[in-house]
Amino acid sequence: MTTSSKTTVDQAVSLFSKTQTQSMSLNRINSERDAVSEAREAKTARLRELRLEKEADEMAAAAALAALPKRAGRR
């Protein structure tokens, strides 16, 4: 191979390596973003479930309290 041919090959390899590194970095960033998004969605679902459970308990307690007979006034 001639020197200019070697230089061209080296440049091509260098550009390919740079492109490959950028692609791998982008894939890593995307997977991290997806993981954060999934974690956020799971936490939101868990908190929603807890909130709905708490509201149901509060409504049941209010209904039970309303069902109690009213005490008559003092005599």
The DSSP-derived string for 2-69 is -HHHHHHHHHHHHHHHHHHHHHHHHHHHHHHHHHHHHHHHHHHHHHHHHHHHHHHHHHHHHHHHHHSP
pLDDT at 69 over 90: no
Average pLDDT value for residue range 6-21: 94
Rounded percentage of the chain residues whose pLDDT exceeds 90: 76
Q: What is the value of pTM for the model shown? A: 0.59
pLDDT in tens, 37-56: 999 999 999 999 999 999 99
